[in-house]
């Protein structure tokens, strides 16, 4: 469904920017398996820093994709879970992650080949016309 206006494009772009932030799909995917506390999400996403996870959770919550609940136990616990809006993304999230797993070796091989060729390129060689509109 193509965007109807510049405003539509900007809104779609900003939504996609949030969804494709570095850890967003992985964190959302982990929460699609059920509610989780912060440390469980950190364990489910090895390599994510506490700061990055906190920022990711705040962005997903601000978009309405996850909800944060404080549970009054001793000590106080915070639980995150997907909202109905977030759950509606589950098949798409899992599809993208499955696609990435299936094609990771091919993509990595292509990246390495590209990097090997990169030093022989000078300036914008081979990129003429990229980003220019015809007509």
Reported confidence tier of residue 75, pLDDT bands at 50, 70, 90: confident
Size (the chain), residues:
135
What integer pLDDT is reported at residue 123 of this predicted model?
Answer: 53
Find, among 92, 78, 68, the residue nearest to 15 by Cα. 92
Residue 52 has pLDDT above 80, yes or no: yes
What b-and-e string marks burial along 8-28, b requiring 16 or more CB atoms within 10 Å of the CB?
A: eeeeeeeeeeebeeebbbbbb
What integer pLDDT is reported at residue 112 of this predicted model?
Answer: 93
In the block, which residue shows the tokens 């999230």?
93
Find, among 72, 94, 90, the residue nearest to 81 by Cα. 90
């Amino acid at each position: 469904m193509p965007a109807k206006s510049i405003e539509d494009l900007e809104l779609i772009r900003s939504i996609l920017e949030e969804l494709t932030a570095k850890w967003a799909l992985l964190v959302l995917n982990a929460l699609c398996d059920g509610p989780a506390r912060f440390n469980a999400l950190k364990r489910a996403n090895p390599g994510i820093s506490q700061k990055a996870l906190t920022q990711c959770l705040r962005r997903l919550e601000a978009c309405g994709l996850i909800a944060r609940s404080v549970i009054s136990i001793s000590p106080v616990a915070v639980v995150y879970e997907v909202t109905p809006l977030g759950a509606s993304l589950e098949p798409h999230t899992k599809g993208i992650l499955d696609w990435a797993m299936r094609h990771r070796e091919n993509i990595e091989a292509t990246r390495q080949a590209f990097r090997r060729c990169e030093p022989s390129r000078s300036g914008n060689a081979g990129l003429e016309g990229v980003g220019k509109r015809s007509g």
